[in-house]
Amino acid sequence: MELNMELLPGNGRHLYEQIYEYIRGEIRSGKLLAGERLPSTRQLAASLKIARTTVELAYEQLEEEGYLVIRRGSGAYVCETQNIPSLTEESRKSAEINIDRNSQTQRSCPVLQENPKRKTEIDFSPRTIDMSMFPYATWRRILRGILTGDRADLFRRGDPQGDPELRTTIAHYLHLSRGCHCDPEQIVIGAGNDYLLMVLGILLGKSFSNTDVHQGVRIGMESPTYLRAADVMRSMGFSIEPIADDESGMRTDALEESDCQLAYLMPARQFPTGVVMPYPRRAELLSWAAEKAGRYLIEDDYDSEFKYRGRPVPSLQSMDAGGKVIYLGTFSKSIAPAIRVSYLILPKDLLPAFHEKAGFLSCTVPRLDQAILNEFIQKGYFERYLNRMRNHYRSKHDRMLELLKPLEGKFDIRGQGAGLHLVLHLKNSDACLDAAGGQEKIGQDEIEQKLADAARAQGVIVYPLSEQKLPEEFSSQAIFPENSCSRQKLPENSSSRRQVSPAILLGYAALTEEEIREGTQKLIQAWS
Mean pLDDT by runs of 10 across the 528 residues of the chain is: 78 79 88 88 86 84 82 78 45 39 37 42 92 92 86 83 96 94 96 93 65 65 93 89 93 93 95 94 97 95 89 89 96 90 96 91 92 95 94 96 95 93 86 44 83 93 92 52 34 46 94 95 93
Say if CB 204 and CB 262 are below 8 A apart. yes
SS3 270: coil
Q: What's the distance, CA 418 to chain centroid?
A: 18
- pLDDT of 285 reads 97
Domains and CATH numbers, the chain: 15-118 (1.10.10.10), 178-361 (3.40.640.10), 388-527 (3.90.1150.10)
- pLDDT of 352 reads 94
Where in 126-248 does DSSP place strands (E)? 187-190, 218-221, 239-242, 245-246
Rounded CA gap, 205 and 262, in Å?
A: 10
SS3 413: strand
- pLDDT of 477 reads 39
Rounded CA gap, 132 and 512, in Å?
A: 10
Backbone angles phi, psi at 298, to 5 degrees: -95, 110
Strand partners, 220: 241, 263
| Total Cβ atoms within 10 A of residue 59 | 23
Who contacts 41 (Cβ-Cβ below 8 Å, separation ≥6)? 52, 55, 56, 59, 76
Q: What is the pLDDT of residues 409-448, one digit of tens each?
A: 999 999 999 999 999 999 976 545 443 344 456 778 889 9
Q: Where are the alpha helices (DSSP H) in 406-527?
A: 444-457, 492-495, 513-527
Q: What is the pLDDT of residues 484-504, one digit of tens each?
A: 333 333 333 333 445 578 999
Rounded CA gap, 346 and 180, in Å?
A: 12
Give the DSSP H/E element, type plus range, for residue 292.
Answer: none
Burial grade of 270 (CB within 10 A; 0-12, 13-18, 19 or more): buried
Query: Angle between the 367-378 and 381-403 helix axes, to the nearest 10 degrees?
Result: 80
Rounded CA gap, 519 and 19, in Å?
A: 35
Rounded CA gap, 492 and 506, in Å?
A: 32
What sign does the CA torsion over 328, 59, 127, 220 have? negative
Say if CB 16 and CB 55 are below 8 A apart. yes
- pLDDT of 53 reads 78
Q: Nearest 10 degrees: CA dihedral of 223, 225, 227, 228?
A: -150
Q: Where are the alpha helices (DSSP H) in 294-432?
A: 351-357, 367-378, 381-403
- Which amino acid is residue 46, in one-letter code? A
- pLDDT of 474 reads 63
Backbone angles phi, psi at 422, to 5 degrees: -115, 160
